[in-house]
Structure 1
Amino acid sequence: MVVAGRTFGIVGALAAFPRRLAAREVERQGGHLRRGVTRQTAFVVFGRGLLARATEPEIEARFGSETDGGRRILSENGFLRLLGLATPEATPALTRQSLIDQSGLSPRHLDLLSLFDAFEHDREPYSFRDLILARKYAGLIASGAGWSAIARSVHRSGDVASLTALSLHHDGADTIYVRRAEGLSELDGQLLLDVGTSDDQEVEDLFAQAEAAEAAGDYDEAAAFYQRCLAIDRTDSVAAFNRANCLRAAGREAEAAHDYARAIKLDPSFVEAWFNLAGLMNERGRMDTARRHLTKAIEGDPGYADAVFNLAKLEFDEGNLAEARRWWLRYLELDQNSEWARTAERGVQFVNLYLLRKSAG
């Protein structure tokens, strides 16, 4: 799989390796790594840290939305393998459907447990050891264990393949135990090897708090959290972009413009930042600047329909009717069915009629 030119997004903190090392390797191979997901994200990596801060329904909903969005979903180990930094432990041979048929594990649980590397392989083909694990997990779930409890637990015993020789049990939905000679002991013990960093975890925690504050409409508080993220990781273009959105919502437009520009400086291909900054410039009456920014957004993503529509409207408002018509026609190539498409059609009809009258008169 070619990494060059692709954009990777991370949801949740990475547990197997530091984010900064992943970013360095992705950049070395010509790709881009961002926190969170944007329009240009082609691959979404689900970090195991998400298990500690999100509920099962929240994770399932996020997994579904990213899958429906046409993005390729990666586990941490899948991410490492794609980058060429890890290889499968055993020769795989089983298809996804064969694993489901032979283990009794549901397709949904197989996908979610694979997402958090509860097997040797993160996708088909699977190995025979994966089949053994799938049978154990199916038994745990059938007796009341939650899939997220399994996903949180299995990495705390070392290599997941070692679980094939152990007898797994659970107490309620949240705790997985292993039966040893001396009796039951918790599988959820201290990690054998913690290769993450305090900064990585701190940024993830701050980012989560910022997102929660933003969702609640506490824009000043959210902006403060995003600023703390940036104080730790000055290269985080998404934190800068999100902070700009919060500042704009809080009426702090000059600061918002600064942070949109910061996001663009960190990542010139960040088309949402170009688009939102164009909107801010439009509101402030700086039409030439807004036009340049919208053009940049479209150059970065020719299928960015919102940017195309807004550029058409800007040209119409400025009296550049031929240009407005050109961009509305382009918009109609991207969208034929929405209310915005009806507006674009009316705009084209108006310009056609105006130009016809002008040529006749």
Structure 2
Amino acid sequence: MAVLGHTFGIIGTLAAFPRRQVARAVERKGGHLRRGVTRQTAFVVFGRSLLAKPGEAEIEARFVGLAESGRRALSENGFLRLLGLATLPVTPALTRQSLIDQSGLSPRHLDLLSLFDAFEHDSEPYSFRDLILARKYAGLIAGGAGWSAIARSVHRSGNVAALTALSLHHDGTDTIYARRAEGLSELDGQLLLDVATPDDVELEDLFARAEDAEAAGDYDEAAAYYQRYLAIDRTDSVAAFNRANCLKAAGREAEAAHDYARAIKLDPAFVEAWFNLAGLMSERGRTDTARRHLAKAIELDGDYADAVFNLAKLEFDAGNLAEARRWWLRYLELDRDSEWARTAERGVQFVNLHLLPAARRV
């Protein structure tokens, strides 16, 4: 798998390596790293901080949704290995199906536990030690343990391979225990390669608080958190984009326009920023500027159906019927089944009725 030319997104916070060091490694290899998922994201890294939040179902839904969209999910260790920041501990030999057949672990649980590095290897081929771990995890799940409880607990051991020599137990809580000579004890230890600096910790905390406030609809508070984040890291285009969205939702349109422009300056290929700024300009009556921004979004991503539809509507509202028809026809090449497609079809029919008679008269 090559890094060159690809965009990587991170969901959650990395526990195994500081994000800024990872970002530099991605850039050195000719790739791009962003928080979250945008239209251009090809690979999505699941940060282990997601395990700190309740709700296995939400993580599973994200994982399935990414697979359906054609994007590839990566674990933290898988991402580090791709960048050359970590190596495989042993030479693997087992296929995914072989591991499933010999361990009794379901395919879904294998994929999710691999996604959060509960094995030596994040994908096939797996090692014999991975098979031992899979059998232990299958027993824990059969006993009522959730896969996320296993994933949270195993990293406390410092090295998942060390768990192959332990007897693992679950007592109905969210914690996995090891049976030792002195009795049951938690899998205490530090997270792998936990070398985050104070600045990294503060940044991740600010971004998480901003996202939580945004999700709760507290847009002014979210914008304030994003601003504090950007005061520390001025290079994060996604933080600027998110802040712009919050400012727009809070009715602070002039500030929102400034931060959309900041996101674009930091990342000229940020398609969603061009699109959202175009929408804001259109709402403020700046039709020519909105047209240029939508055209830029389509130039960057020719299959961006929303941008194509909005440009068609903008041209229609401006009285440019031939251009509106052209863009609606392009939209129908991208989408023929939605309610928006019905609107585009009606738009084309309307323009035909008005333009074709005039053409015949000429």
Q: TM-score range by the shorter chain?
A: over 0.9
- Give the number of equivalent residue pairs: 361
User: Residue in 1 aligned with 2:317?
Assistant: 317
User: Residue in 2 aligned with 1:46?
Assistant: 46
Structure 2 residue runs of 5 or longer lacking an equivalent are none
Find the residue that maps to 2:251 and give its secondary structure.
Answer: coil
Find the residue that maps to 1:212 and give its secondary structure.
Answer: helix
Structure-2 change in CA distance of 1:18 and 1:74 (3 Å): same
Pairwise CA distance, 1:55:
2.5
Mapped pair 1:133 → 2:133 = yes
Pairwise CA distance, 1:190:
4.1
Mapped pair 1:233 → 2:233 = yes
Alignment check: 8 A CA contact 1:4 1:29 kept: yes
Structure-2 change in CA distance of 1:105 and 1:192 (3 Å): closer
Mapped pair 1:62 → 2:62 = yes
Pairwise CA distance, 1:191:
4.2
Which string of whole-angstrom CA distances, capped at 9 and with x for unpartnered residues, describes residues 274-309 of structure 1? 001000001111111101100111111110000001
Separation of aligned partners in 1, 2:316 and 2:191: 61
Pairwise CA distance, 1:29:
1.1
User: Residue in 2 aligned with 1:285?
Assistant: 285
Pairwise CA distance, 1:228:
1.9
Find the residue that maps to 1:108 and give its secondary structure.
Answer: helix
User: Residue in 2 aligned with 1:215?
Assistant: 215
Amino acid at match of 2:204: E
What does 1:267-278 align with in structure 2 at a 5 Å threshold? Answer: 267-278=267-278
Separation of aligned partners in 2, 1:359 and 1:194: 70
Pairwise CA distance, 1:171:
3.1
Higher deviation after alignment, 102-111 or 51-60: 51-60
Pairwise CA distance, 1:192:
7.0
Structure-2 change in CA distance of 1:348 and 1:191 (3 Å): closer
Cα RMSD, aligned residues only: 1.6
Alignment check: 8 A CA contact 1:291 1:314 kept: yes
Pairwise CA distance, 1:193:
4.9
Separation of aligned partners in 1, 2:359 and 2:172: 79
User: Residue in 2 aligned with 1:303?
Assistant: 303
Separation of aligned partners in 2, 1:348 and 1:244: 34
Find the residue that maps to 1:169 and give its secondary structure.
Answer: strand
Alignment check: 8 A CA contact 2:227 2:243 kept: yes
Mapped pair 1:90 → 2:90 = yes
Mapped pair 1:28 → 2:28 = yes
User: Residue in 2 aligned with 1:202?
Assistant: 202
Please give the TM-score of this superposition, normalised by the length of structure 2.
Answer: 0.95
User: Residue in 2 aligned with 1:77?
Assistant: 77
Separation of aligned partners in 1, 2:301 and 2:236: 21
Pairwise CA distance, 1:12:
1.1
Which string of whole-angstrom CA distances, capped at 9 and with x for unpartnered residues, describes residues 171-228 of structure 1? 3331222222333322034447521233333323322222222222211111112212
Separation of aligned partners in 2, 1:48 and 1:200: 15
Please give the TM-score of this superposition, normalised by the length of structure 1.
Answer: 0.95
Structure-2 change in CA distance of 1:97 and 1:222 (3 Å): same
Separation of aligned partners in 2, 1:204 and 1:54: 18
Alignment check: 8 A CA contact 1:113 1:151 kept: yes
Separation of aligned partners in 2, 1:227 and 1:129: 46
Percent identical residues: 85
Mapped pair 1:249 → 2:249 = yes
Pairwise CA distance, 1:89:
1.6
Find the residue that maps to 1:121 and give its secondary structure.
Answer: coil
Alignment check: 8 A CA contact 1:247 1:255 kept: yes
Alignment check: 8 A CA contact 1:278 1:291 kept: yes
Alignment check: 8 A CA contact 1:146 1:173 kept: no
Separation of aligned partners in 2, 1:192 and 1:8: 22
Higher deviation after alignment, 201-210 or 156-165: 201-210
Which string of whole-angstrom CA distances, capped at 9 and with x for unpartnered residues, describes residues 74-116 of structure 1? 0011111222333322222212121111111122211111001
User: Residue in 2 aligned with 1:356?
Assistant: 356
Separation of aligned partners in 2, 1:109 and 1:11: 19
User: Residue in 1 aligned with 2:103?
Assistant: 103
Structure-2 change in CA distance of 1:192 and 1:50 (3 Å): closer
Separation of aligned partners in 2, 1:191 and 1:333: 49
Separation of aligned partners in 1, 2:193 and 2:171: 25
Amino acid at match of 1:235: T
Separation of aligned partners in 2, 1:198 and 1:52: 20
Separation of aligned partners in 1, 2:14 and 2:176: 22
Which string of whole-angstrom CA distances, capped at 9 and with x for unpartnered residues, describes residues 48-84 of structure 1? 1111134322222222222222210000111112223
Separation of aligned partners in 1, 2:63 and 2:82: 19
Separation of aligned partners in 2, 1:149 and 1:355: 64
Alignment check: 8 A CA contact 2:16 2:193 kept: no
Separation of aligned partners in 2, 1:193 and 1:347: 57
Separation of aligned partners in 2, 1:192 and 1:283: 49
Find the residue that maps to 2:124 and give its secondary structure.
Answer: coil
Structure 1 residue runs of 5 or longer lacking an equivalent are none
Higher deviation after alignment, 182-191 or 161-170: 182-191
Separation of aligned partners in 1, 2:20 and 2:262: 19
User: Residue in 2 aligned with 1:173?
Assistant: 173
User: Residue in 2 aligned with 1:262?
Assistant: 262
Separation of aligned partners in 1, 2:127 and 2:65: 28
Pairwise CA distance, 1:310:
0.7
Which string of whole-angstrom CA distances, capped at 9 and with x for unpartnered residues, describes residues 304-338 of structure 1? 00000111111111122221111111111101111
